[in-house]
Structure 1
Amino acid sequence: MNHVETLRALHHGRTPGDPLVLPGPWDAVSARTFEAAGSPALATPSAGIALSLGYEDGQVPPDEMFAAVARITRSVSVPVTADIEAGYGLPPAELVERLLEAGAVGCNLEDSRDGVLKDPAEQADFLAAVRQAAGDRVFVNARVDTFLRGVAEPGPAIERARLYVAAGADCVYPILAPAEVVPALRAGIEGPLNVVALPDGPGPRELGERGATRITFGPGLLHRTMAALQAMAKELV
């Protein structure tokens, strides 16, 4: 089984309370640390990589982002899926090839641009083009930004998710979905469901019991690491 087959298989056949937990490495050493702890796969966060490279979230030049992903993939032996934001304006075929050249076998693709939700039909067409270019070589996680953009009701997220699954997405990711709406999302969406675990929210097991298939952390693990470094730094000064 190759890496993309392994990644895809990890998303299926899971029982409630046992979601796939994917830590988010921001560099090679964090990736190796998570792999050594037993993580079966990793999911890079664009915001975490941006912070590690000295950029604001969303401001990393594509070449630097793909280079950072490549440093992570070549440092570990487990599958890596990469957050590549909205695709950097690259044509789908080029986007897929650059992702594969960086050694990643999956990607997040968000459905907002410059802080504004994209037309869902337009995003579905884009995802379909990515799927056609990738074939089975890439696991596509379609991010749904309705909650991020202030839409509190789950209905619009479910509608977008259904379009994206029909377009060929392997998984959908309604980022910042409140824990209390996860059961409604699970009931309305076919296939794997990615939920982000927040520092002040339920843990992976509880989110899994509510219907999450996959748990990611965004830049949260880097933020926790930075807090520990700040505490050490204060002791040294």
Structure 2
Amino acid sequence: ISGALSGVLAASRFLFAIARDNLLPQPLEDINIKFETPHWAIIITSVAMAICILTLPVKDVAKLASGFQIMVLIALNFSVIILRNANFEHDWYHPKFKSPLYPWMQIFGIISGGILVFVMGEKAILGGLAAVVIGVATYYIYGKKHYQMSTTPFQTFCQMLSNSTAAESKLHHAAFHAADLGGSNHLTLKEFISALKALKFEFTNDEYRDIFHKADTDANGYIDIDEFLDMLENDILEEA
């Protein structure tokens, strides 16, 4: 039971993060106003896990899940190598952490992960292949049509700047708090769109989401008042 619960929490965040990159439908990145968790991602993950537990032997579920997870970790190691080698061509990638023994640690992770999946047997191999197939299929069926390549990162929140006039600042505060239906002092994506529309900004749905993610400088899934005001002060809206 504890393993299933931890799996729900971990796997649901995969859906949440992927949806933030426009690779899955928008509802999967919605944050519950009360609990501040990605509720739709958790619900879908819970249902999928419950079906597997009820219809498959526990050992098979464990091996399938392990193979799936190991394949994800292999992909992460590949990603580190690719990003570190491409950072000179993409000025948006400036990692603040160092990876010990790079790239040998990542190569070891890729090779050892592959060996581990093979040693675990057929079920683990199927789980690993499922991770690849699901990922590729999701990208070509949905993600490729919605993903917008960007060469710049979400802007780092440096300092809070006041608006040019007191009247404009008051209007921005009013729009934020009017859209904050839950009184939580932060905006979900839907509330964020309502706030921008109240300020007479009109964009497509994809543009709204792109602005939302750029304004969300701490990448926590919602916009607080400082991020909202900083977005209006900078050129994020003009870049959309």
TM-score in terms of structure 1 length: 0.23
TM-score under structure 2 normalisation?
Answer: 0.23
Structure showing greater relative contact order (alpha-carbon pairs closer than 8 Å, 6 or more residues apart): 1
Query: Which structure features the higher share of strand residues?
Result: 1
Higher helix fraction: Structure 1 or Structure 2? 2
